[in-house]
Amino acid sequence: MSEGLTVTIRLRMSSHDAHYGGNLVDGARMLGLFGDVATELLIRLDGDEGLFRAYDSVEFLAPVYAGDYIEAVGTISKVGNTSRAMTFEARKVIRAAPEINDSAAVVIDPPIVVCRAKGTCVTPKEKQRLGAKG
């Protein structure tokens, strides 16, 4: 079944991701991660990258800093003829700990939810290859 299909990616925010003072990462970076997750979901479902149509809601819930590890998860919640509704959540799973020393880090258990979103993607009918595998 395509509804409930979930994809997870995890990566470290670098100093290049920091956009504001204090090494704060721009919230748009989380939306970029959600776009990558959505693309993988569409490839797994349709065999095509599809297009991100719109976000229905976005909530920024906690700050993200350079050195933090973020886990971005996306799930297909509804499948239409061409539309795919998705939910997304980004969680901070490791944080940099400069207060300890310049290379210290701390595993966060439970992870901190930093962003949630809902969106809709579209795969044109003529590009859908359901269950496509290489």
Give CA–CA dist 74/107, Å, rounded: 22
pLDDT at 130 over 90: no
- Please report the DSSP string for 91-109 in residue order: EEEEEE-TTT-TT-EEEEE
pTM exceeding 0.85: yes
What average pLDDT does the segment 71-77 reach? 98
**Domains of the chain by range and CATH?**
6-126 (3.10.129.10)
For residue 19, what pLDDT is reported? 85
Q: What average pLDDT does the chain have? A: 93
pLDDT grade for 132, boundaries at 50, 70 and 90:
low
Please state, for a pLDDT cut of 90, what percent of the chain lies above it.
84
- The pLDDT assigned to 100 comes to 95
Element (H or E) spanning 29, and its range?
helix 28-46
